[in-house]
Amino acid sequence: MSSRNDRKEVMWPEDDVVELLAQLDFLVEWPETSRVLDKKVQRDEADKKVISQLSKKIDGKYTPRQVERKLLDLYKEGDPSKWWESNFTQVFCNGSSRMMALSDGIRRRVKERYTVLSLGTPRSRRSSKRPAPSTVPPTPPVQRVGKRRKTPSRTTRCQSKSRKTTPLNNSSKRWYNRSRTSKTSPSVVITPIKQELSSISRTYVNLHPIRAEVSDSMDEDSYRSLTDEPPINTLLTPDAAQFDCPQRTPGECPESPQSIIKIAIDVQEYEDLMLDLSDFKQKRDKAEAVVKQLQRESREQKALNDKKQGYSFSYEAEIRRKNARIAELEIQVSSQSVLQPSCDWGYGELNIETLRSKVSILERKIAALDHILDFEYPDGRGNTVEWSAGLLELTRTALSNNLHSYTSQLGYLLDHNIPPQWFVQALIGAAVCKDVFGQEFRCFEMMNTSLLDEYRNQVTAACDKNVLRSIDFASHRSIVQSDYFRNTVIPRKAANLAAQNLDILASLIAEKEYSECKEVLRRELEGIFTVSFDIRVLLMITKDTVGYIWPTPGSTFEVETMEPVDLRNQKMNEYDQAGGPRVVLPVAPGLRVYTCDRQTVNYSGFLGEGDHVEGDQRVLVKSVTHI
């Protein structure tokens, strides 16, 4: 039955835990009996013996039951499996290495304490090749009458400077130790103490001592003086203090001849181990420095990647905003169940990869003008061109030419420090910005919206204004996405812009190559403007299109969604003189004109021409997308 102290919870200080684990590793490393046992009963008995020895090694502060419980708790923390009780016996074979929950600090302290215990172990337990000297005292010499023991003849050898002991020297030392030890004295375990080892000097040891005859009346001091062997210093640990060895002062004579115990402390081996430990610490410090360097480089790379992602954040945020708006409009259209049978059209999101590929193609085509054709500046300043002030302003900005007034003379704009190829590229880029992305997108096909004209009155009577706006947008989108619009309308508008800009660039083509280069330049310009219109249409069909109509009399649209028309420069007709509401109205589905919209949209660019007749609606479209 367990005692009350065994059942009581005991607080283990960290020093006691370190001592317990170090002693466990020491006992596992140097077992007195073999751990390879056949029966479980034998293994249990061996485990109990180890636990009992551990209780004694830690000065009896804890009972064997408390020691076993502490080892079980330490192992349980690192073994989450349900078989931890059966796996616990591994610690008696492998030591503290099976306790996975130990911290690095405790493991380091256990290793240091284990090193100290190993250094204080006799050589017979540390190495099988170097047995420890015997502690059996010599047999008292028998008195011989008229005879003396002669020293056996030995071949003189040179003293080796190596740290290793030759077999001959080792055997000589063992023979000498065997003759000087006692059979009855107990074995003494010597533990080198760091503070006292610093004061121990490595004394000279003669590997081939001269064997002198020992008489019955010869005492220890006389024998040591005869053999020129220096006196030895014996350091006893608390383990050996229990043997009450007689002490004497230098001037005191021994009471009786006693057996002398010779204890050899291998200081050189201890120094070698400390050097190895120092090398290991240096390697560990180098490895930690390399790990810190890799971690710092990883953090720098991560910060660089985050910075690169931040550059495109605003662009991607705008794309997400447009897609969110598309999703809202899709919800509005899907809520109108009456339109589902007749209004089945797709609402694809803006593909950012398609847009980027189109922009890269446009950039390559403009840059290719430098390699395809040869340009040169014309002689004189008399060449005149027909261009607008906006195109001239964009060209001046692109070339960083500080002109204080507009001019139609090409010579006043030219700068001979700039290559003519660069001037042509800047001029074409300015034309793309102004004529494609800066102007209203008008064509006859978009003015003729048969779906809107045919079903407007029926949809207005059956549904609300949001449905009518959805129909308007679907009408325009069906036109823009049609094959006829892409294969006919866009190439036609691109050819018109190419012809206009070809006349401007004609004066920059060399006369000897004019006939051949003019046709090549025409094809290149048509390709540039075609890609530009593709980008414009790609943005228009993602519901960034704002359309305007003349509302019919008696329209149910709310007044706050209308913007009055400025008629100061417009011709009044009969409908206006009648005092009817002359307004423009956005037809994009669900779009309402708020104050922020009025700041970005120029409504004066959407006025229709001619008289308006009831039931005759005309639609004008303009993109508000900014590139």
End of a domain among 545, 573, 606? 545
For residues 533 and 430, state if they share a domain. Answer: yes
Q: How far apart are CA 380 and CA 389, in angstroms?
A: 22
Cα radius of gyration rounded to whole Å, the chain: 52
- The answer to whether 332 and 589 are in contact (CB under 8 A) is yes
Q: How far apart are CA 161 and CA 154, in angstroms?
A: 20
Domain count, the chain: 3
- Name 247's Cβ contacts closer than 8 Å, sequence gap at least 6: none
For residues 357 and 464, state if they share a domain. Answer: yes
- Report in angstroms the alpha-carbon separations of 22 from 29, 436, 489: 10, 83, 89
Distance of CA 199 to the CA centre of its chain: 53
Angle, in degrees to the nearest 10, between helices 420-431 and 352-367: 140
- Name 413's Cβ contacts closer than 8 Å, sequence gap at least 6: 392, 395, 396, 401, 403, 407
- The answer to whether 212 and 226 are in contact (CB under 8 A) is yes
End of a domain among 278, 311, 344? 311
> In this structure, which amino acid lies at residue 239?
D
Residue 206 covered by a domain: no
For residues 365 and 291, state if they share a domain. Answer: no
Residue 92 covered by a domain: yes
- The answer to whether 528 and 366 are in contact (CB under 8 A) is yes
For residues 352 and 275, state if they share a domain. Answer: no
For residues 414 and 292, state if they share a domain. Answer: no
Residue 420 covered by a domain: yes
For residues 414 and 499, state if they share a domain. Answer: yes
For residues 298 and 344, state if they share a domain. Answer: no
Q: How far apart are CA 230 and CA 227, in angstroms?
A: 9
> In this structure, which amino acid lies at residue 493?
K
**Residue 284, pLDDT score:** 93
**Domain span holding position 77:** 4-119
**Residue 327, pLDDT score:** 83
Q: What is the pTM of this model?
A: 0.32
End of a domain among 545, 563, 589? 545
For residues 424 and 285, state if they share a domain. Answer: no
Looking up tokens 């290559």, which residue turns up?
419
Q: How far apart are CA 384 and CA 382, in angstroms?
A: 6
The values of phi and psi at residue 62, to 5°, are -130, 150
The values of phi and psi at residue 410, to 5°, are -65, -30
Q: Any long-range contacts for 332-339 (C-beta under 8 Å, 24+ apart)?
A: 332/466, 332/470, 332/589, 332/590, 333/470, 333/589, 336/463, 336/466, 336/467, 336/470, 338/462, 338/463, 338/467, 339/463, 339/467, 339/470, 339/471
Residue 539 covered by a domain: yes
- The answer to whether 530 and 494 are in contact (CB under 8 A) is yes
**What is the CA angle 611-615-620, rounded to 5?**
65
Residue 196 covered by a domain: no
For residues 280 and 381, state if they share a domain. Answer: no
For residues 405 and 346, state if they share a domain. Answer: yes
Q: What does the chain come to in residues?
A: 627
**Residue 328, pLDDT score:** 80
**Residue 431, pLDDT score:** 80
pLDDT means per 10 residues in the chain (627 residues)? 58 85 79 54 80 81 84 80 74 79 86 83 47 44 46 44 43 46 42 41 43 46 49 44 46 44 61 89 92 91 78 72 81 53 38 77 82 64 42 50 41 60 78 75 60 60 62 64 81 88 72 73 88 78 43 47 46 41 40 34 34 35 28
Residue 487 covered by a domain: yes
For residues 291 and 363, state if they share a domain. Answer: no
Residue 115 covered by a domain: yes
- Pick from 615, 546, 610: nearest CA to 584: 546
Structure tokens at 187: 């074995």
Structure tokens at 1: 């039955």
**Residue 282, pLDDT score:** 92
Structure tokens at 545: 């299109």
In a 10 Å sphere around its CB, with 0-12 CB exposed, 13-18 middle and 19+ buried, how is residue 192 labelled? middle
Q: How far apart are CA 259 and CA 256, in angstroms?
A: 10
- Pick from 459, 444, 487: nearest CA to 619: 444
- Pick from 463, 460, 465: nearest CA to 557: 465
**Residue 312, pLDDT score:** 61
Residue 416 covered by a domain: yes
Q: How far apart are CA 476 and CA 479, in angstroms?
A: 5
- Pick from 558, 537, 494, 551: nearest CA to 623: 537
For residues 374 and 458, state if they share a domain. Answer: yes
DSSP states of 364-401 as a string?
Answer: HHHHTHHHH--B-PPSSS--B----HHHHHHHHHHHT-
Q: How far apart are CA 325 and CA 329, in angstroms?
A: 6
